[in-house]
Amino acid sequence: MAEFIKIYEENPNPKEIKKVIDVLRKGGLVIYPTDTIYGLGCDITNTKALERIARIKGIKLAKANWSFICANLSNLSDYVRQIDTATFKILKRALPGPYTFVLPGNSNLPKVFKKKKTVGIRVPNNSIAKALVTELGNPIVSTSIRDEDELLEYTTDPELIFEKWEKLVDIVIDGGYGDNRPSTVIDLSGDEPEVIRVGKGDLDVL
């Protein structure tokens, strides 16, 4: 049964953040707020946790297209091949913000993602998400929590999220109401930027 933890975005309580990090380090799954919709995440270095998310989502881990949540752009070189100045300028303009950027992956990717040519990078403008990644010391692998209801594609109320997910995850963070629009996804791995999905982020960053 998951724990339901209230954390305030204006000033995330370090004690509560540490409690979440302890769970992530032990292979736990956490639902947490971002600057768009709530995300389901785990420690990027924990294969068992990654496999748990894949089972929940009903997909093979090797085929999963999940985002890497980073605290800032300094983590970029850990998992992304060297990028040109034009690409870096776009990232600098847009992040932190409601975007997922698809970038060419490098050889440091965790074993389960080794065959992937690209990775999705997110730096959300949300102090809870940033505090989690900073305290953890490496990215959180994340996927959105979709709703079966076609009118309400994404649940925004943390209490309803908890009701639905309490038997599947270890912690649900109540960080206030989420947004119901996902991030804008932009592929920067080719010669020209390609918009994959229009979400919350404006396209004027390109």
Q: What is the pLDDT of residue 111?
A: 85
**49 contacts 110 by C-beta, under 8 angstroms:** no
What's the pLDDT tens digit per position in 107-126? Answer: 888 888 888 899 999 999 99
List the chain domain ranges.
3-205
Q: What is the pLDDT of residue 152?
A: 58
Task: Give CA–CA dist 126/132, Å, rounded.
Answer: 10
What's the pLDDT tens digit per position in 195-205? Answer: 999 999 999 99
pLDDT exceeds 90 at position 81? yes
Q: Tell me the residue type at 54.
A: A
**48 contacts 27 by C-beta, under 8 angstroms:** yes
Helices (H), the chain: 14-25, 47-57, 76-79, 85-94, 127-136, 158-165
Mean pLDDT of the chain: 93
Q: What is the pLDDT of residue 5?
A: 98
* Mean pLDDT score, 185-191: 96
Question: What six digits make up the tokens of 4?
Answer: 């339901």
Residue with tokens 């040519």: 117
Q: Is 122 helix (H, G, I), strand (E, B) or coil?
A: strand
Task: Give CA–CA dist 149/4, Å, rounded.
Answer: 23
Looking at per-residue confidence, does 116 or 43 come out higher? 43
- Residue of 166, 148, 162 lying closest to 58 (CA atoms): 148
What's the pLDDT tens digit per position in 134-183? Answer: 999 999 999 988 765 555 567 899 999 999 999 999 999 999 999 989 99
**184 contacts 98 by C-beta, under 8 angstroms:** yes
Q: Which CATH superfamily hosts domain 3-205? A: DHBP synthase (3.90.870.10)
Q: What is the pLDDT of residue 153?
A: 64
The rounded Cα 30 to chain-centroid distance in angstroms is 11
Q: What is the dihedral of CA 30, 31, 32, 35, to 10 degrees?
A: 140
